[in-house]
Amino acid sequence: MDAPIGPAGYPPPTLIRKRSGSRRKRAIILLFTVGTLLVIYAVSQLLAGDSAQNNSGRPVPPVAVEGAGPRDADANPATMPDSAAEPPMTVETPGDGAAPAQPSPDAREANHWYYVAALGDGPGVIYSRTGGRWNFAFACTLRTRTIEFIAVGTGAPGSFDKQSISVGKVRLMMDASYSPDGGGTITTTLPAAHPFFSALSGAEAMEVRLYETRKTVVPIGADVARLVKTCRRGG
């Protein structure tokens, strides 16, 4: 029996494979690559630290914010534009109407209301600012006891949708309809019993506002009150 190799209790030798030349070469390349990456990382960290140190002493440039700043906040409110202010209003009075080019065939006078027996489905009253072509009318429909306000030759009101008629302290906000017929026609219809028509007694003129920047003062004659009474009675 062969004697054990080495002193008693010593483990037998472990065989280690001899590395080939190619494996040794790959290990050297790997070590070189790792070392290069470590050097690059160290240099980049050094440069970043220097840049941060240099910038720490520089003042930060102010950032301009459009539409803000002390100048706007301290501005005099009286000089700032008021978006809620209404545009200038032009008021047309009865004396502003131009004389008609030719006399009307029925001798109508300017700024007067005239009662007509038939205007649509019932009686009505018409008003002309010049005595020629009529501008405003109230037409009664006896069957339904309603009165329609009609304005002709108005042109287009554009985007304005707050048409109104005021008589003294009474204001009617019109639920108006517009048609391009007749050079522009604006109408609204109400029951004859509506409180607005009670204000058409002739004591005060009415102000008709069909446009955002213009309103027309129209006197009320006795024929308007007559029409209201006739329509409320139904004939």
Quote the pLDDT of residue 235. Answer: 76
Confirm whether 62 is domain-assigned.
no
Quote the pLDDT of residue 52. Answer: 56
- CB of 200 within 8 A of CB of 224? yes
117 with 212, same domain: the answer is: yes
123 with 206, same domain: the answer is: yes
Quote the pLDDT of residue 77. Answer: 38
Quote the pLDDT of residue 83. Answer: 45
Q: How far is CA 55 from CA 42, 50, 52, in A?
A: 21, 9, 5
118 with 196, same domain: the answer is: yes
Confirm whether 33 is domain-assigned.
yes
- The closest of 141, 225, 222 to 187, measured between CA atoms, is 141
How big is the CA angle at 165 (ends 160 and 168), to the nearest 5 degrees?
A: 135
- Adjacent-strand bridge partners of 27: none
Confirm whether 194 is domain-assigned.
yes
DSSP state of 229: H
How many CA atoms does the CB half-sphere of 235 hold within 13 Å? 3
- DSSP readout, the chain? -PPPSSSTTPPPPPP-PPPPHHHHHHHHHHHHHHHHHHHHHHHHHHHHHHHHHHHTTSPPPP---TT-SHHHHTS-GGGS--TTSPPP-EEE-GGGPPPPSS--TT-PPTTEEEEES-SSSS-EEEEESSSSS--EEEEEETTTTEEEEEEES----TT----EEEETTEEEE---EEESGGG-EEEEEEETT-HHHHT-SSSS-EEEE-SSSEEEEE---HHHHHHHHHHHHT-
180 with 120, same domain: the answer is: yes
Confirm whether 79 is domain-assigned.
no
Quote the pLDDT of residue 89. Answer: 75
Choose one of 36, 54, 72: the last residue of a domain.
Answer: 54
Residue range 124-146, pLDDT digits in tens: 999 998 888 889 999 999 999 99
31 with 123, same domain: the answer is: no
d(C-alpha 189, C-alpha 196), whole Å: 12
Confirm whether 203 is domain-assigned.
yes
142 with 227, same domain: the answer is: yes
Quote the pLDDT of residue 65. Answer: 41
138 with 223, same domain: the answer is: yes
What residue type is 142 in one-letter code? L
103 with 191, same domain: the answer is: yes
Tens-binned pLDDT, residue by residue, of the chain (235 aa):
444 444 444 344 433 333 445 556 666 776 677 677 776 766 667 766 665 555 555 554 444 444 444 444 444 434 444 445 666 878 888 766 555 545 555 557 889 999 999 988 899 999 998 888 889 999 999 999 999 999 999 888 888 889 999 999 999 999 989 998 888 899 999 999 999 999 999 999 999 999 988 999 999 999 999 999 999 998 7
Quote the pLDDT of residue 27. Answer: 63
CATH assignment of the domain containing 158: 2.60.40
Quote the pLDDT of residue 29. Answer: 73
Confirm whether 151 is domain-assigned.
yes
Quote the pLDDT of residue 169. Answer: 93
Confirm whether 170 is domain-assigned.
yes
Quote the pLDDT of residue 223. Answer: 95
36 with 120, same domain: the answer is: no
Choose one of 54, 75, 98: the last residue of a domain.
Answer: 54
- Domain range spanning residue 49? 20-54
Quote the pLDDT of residue 40. Answer: 73
Quote the pLDDT of residue 103. Answer: 54
136 with 196, same domain: the answer is: yes
Domain count, the chain: 2
46 with 157, same domain: the answer is: no
39 with 102, same domain: the answer is: no
d(C-alpha 119, C-alpha 191), whole Å: 17
- CB of 231 within 8 A of CB of 142? yes
Confirm whether 70 is domain-assigned.
no
